[in-house]
Chains A and B, each alone.
Chain A
Amino acid sequence: MIWTLAVVSALVFLIVNLPPGDILSNRINELMASGESSSVARAKFLAAQYALDEPIWKQYLIWLGAWPGPLGFEGLLQGNLGWSFELDRPVSDIVTEAMWMTVVLNFTTILFVYVVALPLGALAAVRANSLVDYLATFIGYIGLATPNFLLAIILYSKGAEWFGLPVGGMVSREYANAPMSLDKLLDIAAHLVVPVIVIGTSGMAAMVRRLRANLLDELGKPYVTTAAAKGLSPTRAVVKYPLRMALNPFVSDLGNMLPQLVSGSVLVSVVMGLQTIGPILLQSLKSQDYFLSGFILLFVSALTLVGMLISDILLALLDPRIRFEGRGR
């Protein structure tokens, strides 16, 4: 996993540096063009400080903190995330704030997806081709087919009208800089309702479909008949045996879902004015603010890996066959 992360970090650095011209060299060029000696000196200083005249691999290692840069070992490994030129603040300052919101938002969304998809999918499979099944299918298709931003606008307008839900943002203005309190928490929760539904719906719909198909497969298996022949009640027979078998793909989705939610919610976050990491990523990519975008991309990759790790551990806990395979190796 460490190796994967190292390779990914190299790739990320390469990619954000690939397009010619970035915010820093643009600024240096500007300073050089102005021809004033102080500006030229400043430009030279910047270029030296960020090791722009070094080859790219050295720049990468310096960014990583594995190579002494002009300031000594000062990179990711040492906890220095770099400097955002556009916002003129350290990357860590910008990111920590947004990261918080992102984690809260995504965690709630995943919770929402699983809590809704599990019973809905199971019910749709057990009562296949019944009213419940058709209803779940219908909701699923609507969720899959409606563009997220459209859903966002509809839900905001109707949510505000019917339930008095706040529109836009993650937190009300009066709490924005207030310390954490119960009121602030409730306020955030109210703000979360619509974004969570908007971001989670399509993932939820897909998961309902997948769970239904898996469970339907499992329900026809002989061990389900065995359970029935034991005299288990239908509910218990389904929950204990086939549902657990059908959970595997459900769990392994976790790894894919984490990054998808972060990147997939960029557009929605922009539309809904959420102060998450998504809009910042978009902005930094547009302005080629490469320390910032590089770190965010790396963070999303790390999130993917963590998601995979969690789902692998869960799978091994759930399925003895996977456990034994690992042991035999």
Chain B
Amino acid sequence: MAAEPVLRMEDLTIAFGRGAASHVVVEGAGLTLRRGETLALVGESGSGKTLTGRAILRILPRGAHITSGRVQFTTSEGRSADLLALSEAKMRKIRGGRIAMIFQEPMSSLSPLHTIGNQVVENLRLHRGVTGTAARDICLETFANVGFPEPERAWSAYPFELSGGLRQRAMIAMAMVCEPELIIADEPTTALDVTTQAQVLDLMRKLQDETGMSMIMVTHDLGVVANMADSVVVMKRGRVVESGPARAVLTAPGHDYTKALIDAAPEIPLDMPSETGPVADPILRATGLSKTYPGRSGKLGRPGKPVRAVSGVEIAVGRRETLAIVGESGSGKSTVAKLLLRAEEPDPGAHIRFRGADGVEQDVATMDRATLKSFRRKVQIVFQDPFSSLSPRMSVLDILTEPLRIHGIGTAAEQKARAAELMARVGLSPAHLGRFPHAFSGGQRQRICIARALALSPEMIICDEPTSALDVSVQAQVLELLKELQEEMGLSYLFISHNLAVVAGLADRVAVMRRGRIVEQAPAKLLFENPRHPYTQALIAASPEPDMDRRLDLAAVARGAGDPHCWPEPFAYHGDAAPGLIEIEPGHFVSAAA
């Protein structure tokens, strides 16, 4: 028997501005959430999913207002009211008390000036009238429930003292402390690493089982949906295009848009044709790559402990191949890219051998400035954030011809022709060369970044998380473009990502990094089919996929995601010493004690 609905939204319409200038962003949205269930509100950026979620609590950004609709909320005692028609004072009692919210970015959603305890206890004071030590005890209990190892410490900690995962737990504690009947979670795990995401999702599910609360999850990630939701509402450009039980929607999507979303979701393929064995013809081979940053000075000017961002990394990028470096934030993967380009100086002892199409081998680590300049012509980079890596004051034409001007290639007319050619190559209209970056969407901007990298006809491109700022469907298109370009122009890629699933379709080889070291490196096929290292296994287990039957394997996540000292033998670190890489199959290296 289906439970009675706790929330029923009908015909919700939200607009920015009023009168003739108003712009409708959500139109006629509706959903029904049953008690104790989880409903996923799915869509890409601009679909209005976040606004719809916030409209329930009537906390819309400045300028946005609800023009019509009903949100009928029924409490467990059977009282029912239209949230959109309640007075502001009554609404305040509902917010945080009956319905709580969890936000995407825990760092900026918590005040940096107040302790976690102070911010959480406020809820109790507001909604329960509990203060003093009684309130403190309830808070500490909640902290323990959401998995803080030391609740006492969390109480007096400031948000910036906690890791991302703990911060999000603090957000959850804040939402849970008054035992609300409904939680609206707006992309609660998007800002977290995959292994942390898996743990937080697990926590939310557990809390739901314990308290019987209902949940609305606003997300773009169908993998999260498959793991969490009972029902799904898919939104596109402010309208609901499909809704229904999660299994039905994910397995037999009725709307083309849902189908496209599911197809675009990155997934680790079960069967991948990929060569095995060692790198035959490396274009770039680095050995002994380390980077130590001086520690912050201690008391009385004594130098602090130096930080090893990268230690002893050894990689080889095959010609016309793609090497993916995968790791979570702080793993040192982006530092490796900077070292390879000599954007930062590696520690002494590093060798970076580059052998271009001309067959001459050079050591990047010891190059002089002039050689370095010609090296950088051959190796280009594409950055993560297409919004900040393009100057807003330069037209696309200027952006694309700038590398040519710097290297003094061609006349002005030739440069312009080259720019037009590049635009066409990355799938944009050459007619738009005169426009400025703000006129383009995120995906289009990333295409411009790729075109800029191609301007000098490089042999190799380093892609630093090129798609993590993009929507999934756009991400799939950009990955497709990269693949085409590789085949056509014979490019070699070094592809840096935090997401194994994104890499799976593109990489020939994958290196997994953790805390500045490579823990496993193998041809993609071997790595995905036969992962040996517990951390690699955790990463694979933690990536959510839009498949109801492949749920997250949390035991595997817990085994590998922890501290390197807690890894089972023979993988554990002892002190600062890590086990070396041993070759278990041709081309498949694992960090393990021999």
Contacts and interface: CB of A to CB of B under 8 A. Distances in A.
B528 interface: no
A100 interface: no
Contacts of B54: 225
Contacts of A54: none
A222 B108 contact: yes
B143 interface: no
Nearest to A230: B96
Interface string B91-118: 0111111001101110011111111000
Interface residues of B, number: 37
B109 A225 contact: yes
A324 B161 contact: yes
Contact of A229 (B100, B110, B113, B296): B100
Nearest to A319: B113
Contacts of B59: 225, 228-229
Nearest to B62: A220
Given A223-B108, A225-B109, A321 B158 contact: yes
Q: Give the interface centre of A225, A229, A318, A320 by most chain B CB atoms within 10 Å.
A: A229
Contacts of A222: 103-105, 108-109
A19 interface: no
B419 interface: no
A73 B59 CA distance: 71
Given A226-B103, A324-B161, A231 B109 contact: no
Contacts of B146: none
Contacts of A228: 57, 59, 95
B123 A230 contact: yes
Given A223-B110, A229-B100, A230-B126, A324 B57 contact: no
Contacts of B96: 229-232
A319 B114 CA distance: 9
Given A320-B158, A321-B158, A324-B160, A226 B95 contact: no
A226 B158 contact: no
Contact of B296 (A225, A233, A318, A328): A328
B506 to A, nearest CB: 33
Interface string A91-125: 00000000000000000000000000000000000
Contacts of A328: 296
Nearest to A227: B111
Contacts of B158: 320-321, 324
A134 interface: no
A101 to B, nearest CB: 38
Given A244-B113, A318-B113, A233 B92 contact: yes
A321 B159 CA distance: 10
B92 A329 contact: no
Contact of A231 (B94, B108, B297): B94
Contacts of A229: 57, 59, 95-96, 100-101, 103
A320 B113 contact: yes
A223 B115 CA distance: 13
Interface in A234-252: 240-241, 244-245
A221 interface: yes
B174 interface: yes
Given A229-B59, A241-B114, A320-B112, 20 more contacts: A225-B54, A226-B110, A228-B57, A228-B59, A228-B95, A229-B96, A229-B103, A230-B95, A230-B123, A231-B96, A231-B126, A231-B127, A241-B113, A244-B113, A245-B112, A320-B115, A320-B158, A321-B158, A324-B160, A324-B161
Interface of A: 220-223, 225-233, 240-241, 244-245, 318-321, 324, 328-329
> Which 9 pairs show the lowest CB-CB distances between chains A and B?
A231-B95, A230-B96, A231-B96, A229-B101, A222-B109, A231-B92, A222-B108, A223-B111, A228-B59
22 contacts: A221-B108, A222-B103, A222-B105, A223-B109, A223-B112, A225-B109, A226-B110, A227-B111, A229-B57, A229-B59, A229-B96, A229-B100, A230-B126, A230-B174, A231-B96, A232-B122, A233-B92, A240-B111, A241-B113, A319-B113, A320-B158, A329-B298
